[in-house]
Amino acid sequence: MVRIVDFMCMKLKLLFSAASIILFCNCASTPSLTVLCEKDRKGNYVLKWEIYPDMDNVPVEIFVSDNDSVFPSVPEFVANSNDYIAVVKNDSGDVEKRKFFQIKLAGTTSGTITNRFFELDSIQNFRDIGGYLTSENHRIRWGKIFRSGSFYKMTSRDSLELDNLGIKTSIDLKSADATRRVVEKYTKVNNIRIPIVYNGYSAISQKIMAGQFLRGDAIVYTQDTYRDMVNNFAKEYATFFDYLCDENNYPLVYHCYLGKDQSGLATYFLFKALDVPMDEIEDDYMASDIGIDRTKLVKGADSLSESRQETFTMLTKTDLAYLRYGISCIREKSGSVEDYMLKELNLTPEKRKKLKSILLYK
């Protein structure tokens, strides 16, 4: 059972993460409503909202459901618009059935809201890519498809969290050299391996520690990785989409070492196939900077030399310049992104329609 445990009765200047913003606007009337849902370290849901124009002391109705598509007709809680935040407590232990929310204020009702990021023990950058709005005004379903970093150090608690999400299929996009060494730890699902690029981070990290790989090398390496993915791994990405076009594979997670490069390009292609606008695509791409905790990547990172720390930072950071470089490689190869997706990835109109039928709210 969930219950409100705190309303902060002061106006907060909310710093909404671009990766988590969900904007809802009733164009026939005011207000517009921007809503963010996060989970804190105790598993409580933290709902934050901004209203434009500001409205004082207006009831904010909060509807709660275990189902992203079915909500009760009566709100479970009523807050005040001036609170700007509500905390919904997790009373059911460490891992609970996921909650979904809708907020209604002055005739404006949000779409479905839930947390995007998950705080896991040893899995970096695990997040739901639902909630984004397409150019046709449809939203991607929550709880259907997730992107992530490596599962290599997965703990039993991490496994329980993924079980709770109902994951059926795990697609490993890590590089070929990593795939040979990694023993799959999440055996409860259908594990698919589609190695993309050959030399991954594991070999590079050894060179960094030896002082043989510097900041400039990291930039060139990442650019080369994107060119390699575009020019030499189109067949692998096409196979990836074959799995995504099978509704029986969902809920599904795809992952690479940090969940930002192979997975980042996969997400770019997926969002383009779903007609997600470029600003939303870039928001999600940059969200990896939120999801990656660099302090967990290298033991004793603080004791490394300044040059080694800087190199690791450059290798693991998310920069739109890399995505844009990859897009330029796509255009160089095929003339346009659309032609590349059709001819190289075999994303036909029929496949794109199938993806939309699986992944978008009607």
**Are 276 and 135 contacting, i.e. CB atoms less than 8 angstroms apart?**
yes
The pLDDT value recorded for residue 200 is 66
Structure confidence by residue, pLDDT tens digits, 39-89: 988 889 999 999 888 888 999 999 999 999 999 999 999 999 999 999 998
Provide the token pair at 194: 């589609």
Give SS3 for 80.
Answer: strand
User: What fold, for 127-359?
Assistant: Protein-Tyrosine Phosphatase; Chain A (3.90.190)
Q: Model confidence at 13, in pLDDT bands (50, 70, 90)?
A: very low
Q: Model confidence at 7, in pLDDT bands (50, 70, 90)?
A: very low
Which H or E run contains 164? helix 156-164
The pLDDT value recorded for residue 138 is 95
Structure confidence by residue, pLDDT tens digits, 150-184: 998 889 889 999 999 999 999 999 987 765 555 56
Task: List, by residue range, all CATH 3.90.190.10 domains of the chain.
Answer: 127-359
Structure confidence by residue, pLDDT tens digits, 196-227: 987 766 667 777 777 778 888 889 989 999 99
Per-residue CA distances from 134 to 139, 180, 289, 327, 342 (Å): 6, 38, 23, 20, 19
19 or 174, which is more confident?
Answer: 174
